Amino acid sequence: MRPRPLTAATAPACLAVLALATAAPAAAAPTHEAGPPPVDVQLLAFNDFHGALQPPSGSGGRVTMADGSTVDAGGLASFATHLRQLEAEAEHSLTVSNGDMIGGSPFLSALFRDEPTVDAMDALGLDIATVGNHEFDEGVDELQRIVDGGACHPEDGCLDGDGYDGSDATWLAANVVVRDTGEPILPPYVVHRFDGVEVGVIGLTLDETPSIVSAEGIADNEFLDEVATINRYTAELQADGVEAIVVSLHEGGEAGGGPNACEEPTGPAFDIAERVTDAVDVVLTGHYHNGYVCQGEDEVDGKLVTQALSNGRLITDVDLQVDRRTGDVVSKAAENVVVSRDVTPDAEAQALVDRYAALAEPIADEPVGAVTADVVRAQEPLVGDLNGESPLGNLIADAQLAATDDEAGAVAAFMNPGGVRADLLQASSDAGEGEGVVTFGEAFEVQPFNNLLTTLDLTGAQLYALLDQQFAVGRVLAPSDSVRYTVAADGSAVVPGSLTIGGTAVDTAATYRITVNNFLAGGGDGFTVLTEGTNAVNQPGFDVDALIAYLSAEPVAPPATDRITVAG
């Protein structure tokens, strides 16, 4: 911190104290001024909103409290009411999104390329938006369009009919740089000033983002180490006299005890908090969709660490006191506030949701196929802590094979479980489409990423290596019905000789045409073997189109989950 200058206002007081100390050193009178009161600064933080404009359903729309009870939570109209109530409690407030505000979104936001979510956050006065991995789902160019506005989506155009003017928030990406220059693609930090004190916020995403997004859209960029990046920009802030430092980090961990506790914290965000400079006061986290507040005795190396679940179910209310003379944070406390739905919905927010819902309704409610029963995305246990197949993952793999067998010569397909975003339910929705009928909106919520289908050549040896890679990355791919194999009892590898395609044992020297989405084809989720594939061809249309075509042929039953077995 730069030295506080001696001013006309402070000089007489300082001289008076000096005179008193000289004339009567034994007196009980104080030897210095108490100083001005600290400045109160409120941070309102959330993470992993994922375009959840309408109240989320299922477990993604509930908060489990410390006593095991649950509260229905989320939805933009309730979120806005709670946020504005919290803002009204403080004179100085900053609202911060800790990544994944957009991307992986339900139909209502995703159909319009998440522009409704950005518009909603502008209306709420969002100050800071840190990038998460999902902000890169469509690459850096689309992210820049979302931030800057001025153009409609290059493929879809302006679907809502009124153009797009970008985001009012300051977007941060401290550790995402242009490969050739090393320059951040967006500002690394922002400083806000309140009553003479400054608060700096550094924003960054996890450095493993390239392994979980499509490689094509970030080919010209690097994602730098989180700790080194935070320490670099903390030092830069301190050199400019900023001592109150907050990190908005799209990386997470796990902690038990309820949304306001911090029992047995583990995970990369906590490791990062331990390792960064002590000059950091607060670390706001995301990515793991967990809720915790680590404060007081549970602080991480002197840092307050928080996370607020996902889908706008919690808002983290952080209260800081900043010393006017030194600029240091002298007090900090936080609470995760449940975004319950028992409040009066914010009228402006509800109007925005209703407007986009009306625009989307004709498309969303169009019937596209049918199922005979619920097809769920939950994976069944496989071996140890590893989960295996799911009915919906298998169905999608079957659909992708059906879309590319004749068209591209594919003999097998594999689907990443993280790309399956919602269940396909048999019950009719509020649209009244009928029992078992699947609408376009329901199909889109299952696969909202608009990935392409890529068919490529792998040798049998590479196929074994691909499946063995599942146990290294901790994710099991959903296989099409043409695939069968056995996993070793210890969950370490595929049993040699057990892999079959179409009932025939895979020859390690032969070549096979395999279909995956372009995210996986680029090495996404750590499946780098797929980047070794040859003769890759992208199919026209998106992955959701393959799902719709498969569902439209005849009512589809949930596939059995018997394609992967464990050695007995």
Token pair for 387:
């989960």
Asked if the structure places residue 33 within a domain, the reply is no
Same-domain pairing of 329 and 405: no
- Same domain (yes/no): 90, 197: yes
Domain contains 353 = no
Amino acid at 409: G
Q: Is residue 341 part of a domain?
A: yes
Mean pLDDT per block of 10 residues along the chain (568 residues) reads 29 31 39 78 97 89 94 98 98 98 90 94 98 95 95 78 90 98 98 97 96 88 98 98 98 96 97 98 96 98 97 98 98 98 98 95 93 96 95 98 95 96 90 91 89 94 98 96 97 97 98 95 91 89 93 95 96
The token pair at 529 is 């073997």
> In this structure, are 331 and 380 located in the same domain?
no
pLDDT computed for residue 7 by the predictor: 27
State residue 185's pLDDT score.
Answer: 98
Cα separation, 451 vs 112, whole angstroms: 16
Question: Domain check: are 155 and 264 in the same one?
Answer: yes
Residue 427 in domain: yes
> Residue 379, class by beta-carbon neighbours within 10 Å (0-12 exposed, 13-18 middle, 19+ buried)?
buried
CATH label of the domain that carries residue 201: 3.60.21.10
* Number of Cβ within a 10 Å radius of residue 299: 16
Q: Is residue 530 part of a domain?
A: yes
The token pair at 563 is 């394609």
Q: How many domains, the chain?
A: 2
Where residue 421 sits, what CATH number does that domain have? Answer: 3.90.780.10
Partners of 504 in the beta sheet? 501
Per-residue pLDDT at 17: 31
Evaluate whether residue 363 is within a structural domain.
no
Inter-residue contact 499 to 467 (CB < 8 Å): yes
Indicate if 315 and 457 belong to the same structural domain.
no
284 and 396 in a single domain? The answer is no
Q: Is residue 22 part of a domain?
A: no
Tell whether 267 and 402 lie within a shared domain: no
Which residues partner with 335 through β-bridges? Answer: 317
Does 325 share its domain with 473?
no
Same domain for 286 and 410, yes or no, is no
DSSP annotation of 219 reads T
| Cβ pair 563, 479 in contact under 8 A | yes
Answer yes or no: do 380 and 286 share one domain.
no
Closest of 283, 184, 182, 198 to residue 238, by C-alpha: 198
Within this chain, do residues 270 and 393 fall inside the same structural domain, yes or no?
no
User: Residue 525: which of 381, 405, 393 has the closest Cα?
Assistant: 393
pLDDT digits (tens, 9 = 90+) for 287-327: 999 999 999 999 999 999 999 999 999 999 999 999 999 99
Hey, what's the torsion of the CAs at 20, 24, 28, 31, to 10 degrees? 30
For the chain, the C-alpha Rg in angstroms (whole number) is 27
Please list, in sequence order, all residues whose beta carbon lies within 8 angstroms of the beta carbon of residue 221, skipping any fewer than 6 positions away.
140, 176, 177, 178, 179, 185
Query: Is residue 32 included in any domain, yes or no?
Result: no
Query: Are 181 and 118 in the same domain?
Result: yes
- Residue 57 pLDDT: 80
pLDDT digits (tens, 9 = 90+) for 36-77: 999 999 999 999 999 999 998 878 899 999 999 999 999 999
- Domain range spanning residue 380? 370-566
